[in-house]
Amino acid sequence: MTDYFADLTVPGPTVTALTEEFWQAADRGELLIQRCTYCGAANFYPRALCTACWHDELVWENASGKAHLKSFSEVHRPGHPAWAAVAPYVVGLAELAEGPTMLSLILPNQHPIRVGAELRLAPTMVGERRLPAFELV
Amino acid sequence: MSTARSKGAIVGIGELKPVRRTVGRTTLDMIAEVSRLAVADAGLEPGHIDGLLVGPQVGETPQHVPATVAEYLGLRPTMSNVVDLGGASGAGMVWRAAAAIEAGMCEAVLCVLANIHQDPMPRSPNRNPIREFDVPFGASGANISYALLMQAHMAAYGCKPEDYATIAAWARTNAQGNPDAIFYGKPATVEDVLNSPIIASPLHLFEIVMPVAGGDAVVVTSAKRARSLKHSPVHLLGAGEKITHRAVSQAPNLTSGPLKESMARAFAQSGLAAREMNLLSLYDCYTILVATTLEDSGLCPPGEFGRFLADHDLGPNGSLPLNTHGGQLGFGQPDLAGGMTHVVEAVRQLRGEGDNRQIPNVRYALATGNGATMSEASALVLGSDQ
């Protein structure tokens, strides 16, 4: 199932100098978050300062990849036409064990999907890029 | 008695009948058309307008929007700005206009939003976090964000699809009283809503606004100046605003939004309570947003909107008139002007100009605006002059 989205030609991330390390890690199948060296807060998506205290010394940290599903939607009519080829597909809000929430793809598998379900990181090719998708545990 | 507490008055309104498609129109000429209506309705001349609030114009005028609009209209305002709060822009303009007048910067403010709708619409040129961290995962556009909000609300409280569908069915019912509504002549039942296709689960097609072209404008002046004008003024009695995030993944709460605090502030300023409103003119880009707004207003406890609505008639003669113009779910959503339709309808009702959909004995209305992914909120408490 991990090549389910590999044939798509869809918009990839608009990488910036600050986020380049995040996307390079994603290519390796890793999920990075930022840890504030001052207050210890975990931050996602990558930013120039900590959203909790505005300290600007943040260090990259490998997320555990454990998360739970805050919400999901089975998308039948995608907002971008290039995604129609794989519709319906599931988009979800993954609340990482470290605290922050990210939006991601939830890969189809045998488990029934429900809000609150446990997730684990499942790096997946979406077009030519490996993205930090999730799957149900 | 409203006048003593008035922060300013809406003295003119204009609204274009929405259309599904425009051919050969520009945003600027749509703005001009609806501005003429509002200023004429106020009984003012263009030369009286010395304040101008406009919306952003993606694709046509990326910057210098107020100057571009002022020049096009032949205005030379002493206060001007862009209000960029998505669907909360309309409500957000009204209190900003009143505040600018109170600050002595101008006397009569034109607040105007209008849009074209043609094929193909240009895709967003965004280079920002939502483009970088949502779009690559197949989450483009607002539908998915509100589907995620609705799924979370359903899971938290066990509300049923028909509870949400009731909101869309009432919008279509009330639209039958508004010949300008895009769904005039096209009522829909709860069953029709539930039989419409799923766009992004759990959202059905009929629970989502139809994008249209149109325009809405209001003229705001001081309560004192309003006395000398054509129409009975509609007073701004309270306002509240709150912005919490942009992308749905960053929302601090999926089942309660920034309208909660916005409405609380607006009610506190007005000295009124939600139950005293004779009209709820609630921003309704999706059914879920109305559900959350009702619960955030305190009219019913969280998760109880379905039971609450089942006990009420939401028509103009009912026990809880809600979006008597059909809401955007019935009227159509002329982009940012869609939010202003809720203000314009409140003014119509408070002036007693609701015609066949006039609410009897109406004194107070709540008008809300909401932008992005339940991110930007603005709430107004409006009162009639009596």
When pLDDT is cut at 50, 70 and 90, the band that residue A2 belongs to is low
- Whether residue B106 contacts residue B79, with contact meaning beta carbons closer than 8 Å, is answered with yes
User: What pLDDT sits at residue B124?
Assistant: 67
DSSP three-state, residue B23: coil
Cβ atoms of B157 and B305 closer than 8 Å: no
pLDDT at B1: 44
| Amino acid of residue B222 | S
**B367 CB-contact burial (10 Å; exposed 0-12 / middle 13-18 / buried 19+):** buried
Instruction: Note the pTM of the prediction, 2 decimals.
Output: 0.96
Residue-wise pLDDT tens for chain B (386 aa)?
445 589 999 999 999 999 999 999 999 999 999 999 999 999 999 999 999 999 998 778 889 999 999 999 999 999 999 999 999 999 999 999 999 999 999 999 999 999 999 877 766 678 899 999 999 999 999 999 999 999 999 999 999 999 999 999 999 999 999 999 999 999 999 999 999 999 999 999 999 999 999 999 999 999 999 999 999 999 999 999 999 999 999 999 999 999 999 999 999 999 999 999 999 999 999 999 999 999 999 999 999 999 999 999 999 999 999 999 999 999 999 999 999 999 999 999 999 999 999 999 999 999 999 999 999 999 999 999 97
Q: Are B152 and A95 in contact (CB under 8 A)?
A: no
| DSSP alpha helix (H) spans, chain B | 2-5, 27-42, 65-73, 89-102, 129-133, 142-157, 161-175, 190-195, 223-226, 259-270, 287-296, 305-310, 327-331, 337-351
What span, in angstroms and rounded, lies between the C-alpha atoms of B331 and B175? Answer: 6
Residues of B with CB under 8 A from a CB of A: 126-129, 131-144, 147-149, 151-152, 155-156, 197-203, 247-250, 254
Q: Which residue among B126, B129, B141 places its CB closest to the CB of A79? A: B141
Beta carbons of B144 and A116 less than 8 Å apart:
no
On the question of a cis peptide bond just before residue A88, with omega within 30 degrees of 0, the verdict is yes
Window 65-84 of A, Cβ < 8 Å to B: 70-80, 83
In whole angstroms, give the CA distance from residue A66 to residue A95.
9
> Cβ contact (<8 Å) for B149 and A71?
yes
Q: Is residue B225 classed exposed, middle or buried when 0-12, 13-18 and 19+ CB atoms within 10 A define those classes?
A: middle
CA distance A7 to chain B (A): 14
Distances (CA, A) of B225 to B208, B231, B232: 40, 12, 12
Contact B144 A79 (CB under 8 A): yes
Helix B287-296 and helix B259-270, axial crossing angle in degrees, nearest 10: 50
pLDDT in tens, A65-118: 999 999 999 999 999 999 999 999 999 999 999 999 999 999 988 889 999 999
Chain A with chain B: Cβ pairs closer than 8 A: 113
Distance CA A69, CA A77 (A): 22
Set of chain B residues whose Cβ sits within 8 Å of the Cβ of A131: 136-137
Nearest CB to B151 within list A72, A77, A101: A72
Task: Give the pLDDT confidence score for residue B4 in this predicted structure.
Answer: 58
CB-closest option in A11, A71, A104 to B151: A71
Q: Across the interface, which of B137, B198, B202 has its CB nearest the CB of A103?
A: B137
Of B144, B248, B254, the CB nearest to A75: B144
- H/E stretch holding A23 reads helix A20-27
What local confidence, expressed as pLDDT, does residue A67 receive?
A: 98
Q: Which pLDDT score, from 0 to 100, does residue B2 have?
A: 45
Q: What angle do CA A16, A20, A25 make, to 5 degrees?
A: 150
Position A30 pLDDT exceeds 80 = yes
Say yes or no for a CB contact (<8 Å) between A114 and B155: yes
Q: What is the pLDDT of residue B126?
A: 81
- Spatial separation of the C-alpha atoms in residues A73 and A93, rounded to whole Å: 9
Tell me the C-alpha distance between B357 and B321, whole Å.
10
Partnered with residue B235 across adjacent β-strands are B9, B383
The total of other beta-carbon atoms located within 10 Å of residue A37's CB is 12
Q: Which residues pair with A105 in a beta bridge?
A: A91
Q: Is A41 on the interface with B (CB under 8 A)?
A: no
Q: Coil, strand or helix: which one is B159? A: coil
Query: Phi-psi category of B349—alpha, beta or left, where left has phi over 0 and alpha has psi -120 to 50?
Result: alpha
Contacts of B141 in chain A (CB under 8 A): 79-80
Contact A34, A60 (CB under 8 A): yes
Amino acid identity of B125?
P
- pLDDT of B219: 98
Label residue B93 exposed, middle or buried (CB < 10 Å: 0-12, 13-18, 19+).
buried
Interacting residues of B106 by C-beta distance below 8 A, sequence separation 6+: B50, B51, B77, B78, B79, B100
